Copies of this chain bind each other. A is one copy, B any other.
Amino acid sequence: MKIFYNKNKLIKFTHNHKIIGFVPTMGSLHKGHISLIKKSQSECKNTIVSIYINKPQFNNTSDYKRYPRVLKKDISILKKLKVDFLYIPKEKQIYPNGPNKNIKIHSFKKQLCGKFRANHFEAIVDVIDRFIKIINPKKIYMGEKDMQQLKIVDHFVKINHRNVKIIGCKTIREKNGVAYSSRNNLLSSSEKLLASKIFKILLSKKNKILNKSISIDLIKKEIINLNVKKIDYIKIYDINNLLKKNNKVKKYKIFIAYYLGKTRLIDNI
């Protein structure tokens, strides 16, 4: 596995060697990431993974500081997977003139997490835009757990990088049902149990919620009764346009974001 730390060396390299599959990550790799990487390896002649904790997309410094960092372990996982290239950027080379304050993203941003995390999606789009310009990949693999992120990035890339395709990949779950997330490492064992219970409630009531034979508010109460103190949202949205459920469309998901202690988790079912 060839590791790049220097942006200019990577740019030079990709001018002579076409890199096809790209899996952007913030490290602390789990089975979700691994499934993205394997998908890329199965579809692409070669694959690059990036590990970069993108500071501007965090809404507060403590969340950024708490984010898990296990670089050595990550590198050994990627080596075992026989990933071709790894890019670990230097902070200064990604934002030589600071973040782009002119990023225009789709109005998907106004719903769900966009309401609670100002500028979060703009910052993600900004960094993906920068990575595309450095790597020039053909396909980028992203997880469906972060559905809103996936939709917003896909919309941006369709307009701005017409030769790049975003590939959404199924959410991978732990045995207890909780979607893999680097943030799961921040949970205590009792919090993990809670996350699993919440998943099971949503899963068991899924059909009733979607056909409205049970109200979202009732589910919300049930979750709050588990002693979950903060729920940013539970909503039913069309997965194609992230608009609220109406009767014309058939593909819905339940979207949830909630806190266990200081840790914010999201999921969609």
Contacts and interface: CB of A to CB of B under 8 A. Distances in A.
Contacts of A159: 133
Nearest to A135: B162
B102 A100 contact: yes
B160 A136 contact: no
A248 interface: no
Interface of A: 14, 97, 100-102, 104, 133, 136, 159-160, 162-163
The A contact surface, by secondary structure, is loop
Contact of A162 (B100, B136, B160): B136
A97 B101 contact: no
A262 to B, nearest CB: 35
Sorted nearest first, the 9 A-B pairs with minimum C-beta distance are A102-B102, A136-B162, A163-B163, A133-B160, A133-B159, A100-B102, A97-B104, A101-B102, A133-B162
Nearest to A159: B133
Given A133-B159, A133-B162, 5 more contacts: A14-B162, A97-B104, A100-B102, A102-B102, A136-B162
A102 B100 CA distance: 8
Nearest to A103: B102
A162 B163 CA distance: 10
A64 to B, nearest CB: 24
Nearest to A129: B160
Contacts of A14: 162
Contacts of A133: 159-160, 162
A137 to B, nearest CB: 10
Nearest to A136: B162
A163 B132 CA distance: 11
11 contacts: A14-B162, A97-B104, A100-B102, A101-B102, A102-B102, A133-B159, A133-B160, A133-B162, A136-B162, A136-B163, A163-B163
